[in-house]
Chains A and B, each alone.
Chain A
Amino acid sequence: MTILRPTFLRLRAMSLRILPGHAWGKVRALGPTAQGLGLVLAVLAVVGPVLPVAIFVLLILFMIYATWAYSINLITGMTGYVSFGHVVFVGTGGYALGYGVKVWNIAPFAGVALGGVLGAVLALVIGVVTLRLRGAYFAIATLVTPLAAFYIVSGTPALGDGSGLPMNLGFQIGSQYYTIWALLAAEVALTWWVTRGRLGLGIRALREDEDAARAVGISVSRVKLILYILSGGFAGAAGAVFAWYVSGVFPDSFNLLFSLTMLAMIIIGGMGTVLGPMLGAVIVLIPHQILIRILPQGEPIAIGVSVILIALFLPGGIVGTIRQYVPDARRYFE
């Protein structure tokens, strides 16, 4: 550690020169988690273009999944409402981009924006009805929405019915990369922001005991609905980027596997935390790239076993568990 210190000081001195003093103070006040995540995002933004194409393409997928993980974290992690059907926003965003690009000839960026808006609107519609339900009832009510959406798009000629909407936008990985980077950065910042201050307090109270939170004057239903709308918006926008990434959108975009993967990511990383979804995305996707070449069948089983063990024995996931057992580390793991 002592060897590192001079380097660290020199680095800090360098950054002090780049940033004015008061701004540096603000960065410091963010705390290690926000600094660390900020650093990761900054590095991603800077090194992206010099990376080999295959890794660049992989990073797009990673950021799409991380955006989804943060999205489901906003509702399921923050409030404990398990959004099993979260993929409905992914598919909706994808179809928004596919339809916009194919029928209205809009730019993919506009398609991503449209996907975000439609995701948010759909979340509003679903949320108004279902957020009054608790526990498994909410999980089931949301579970049926992607199933229904799958059948609806399969039977809608304007959406290509079973053939979906394949599209040829070329190999636009640069635009995809920075679009999803911006979405992820915005979502991480939002997640960090909603966990502190009054709103954060309200959310924590809601998760611990919804009735008690309501009794002390927190407008529980509004908080839940806002979180759900934000969550749906980000999932929809990232779903649109995903459709762009795989050059098409098909009924299978409503495959429940996506819901399950994002859920597994936040369970493993730590639900309702700022760092958890990012850790979960890394932990699920890095082994994926290796397992797919050596043991493709073992991968879902490994994820399943991890989810079981973590749910039963370490319900806080990685971040929650470290915070629980190593109080000193709480500063670094939020």
Chain B
Amino acid sequence: MGILIRALLLLVLTGCSSSPEPKDWLYQQLGGAPGLEQLADGLLREIEQDRQIVHHFKDTDIARFRKLLIEQFCELSGGPCKYSGATMQESHTGFQITEADFDNLVGHLIKVMTEQQVPVAAQNRLLAKLAPMYKDVVYR
């Protein structure tokens, strides 16, 4: 029994110490700069084909939107970038974005990440960072 407990302790301790996660873990998991560009392009393709949400983008400067999206994902994932756009609340006010619109975008993001073979743990990490933005984006 004593040996078992010691072995278990060792396992727990090495398990904790062997993986000090780098600050840019998520950024690397998403494929770094080229990965984020692909992610943004994939997302733009999905939005373009989504009749429910595409109208929100009719006056959007897509090139600028793409740049800001990449910056934001980069900063959120611990990459070497600084998001230079407006706050989520400022940039979504007046658009009347609904819960269904937000759900659709989350669905597109999951689809694109899955297509790009982003591991499930990294997908969930990014979603966890984006989910709290719901209150700043929806019904503004």
The answer to whether A and B belong to the same complex is no
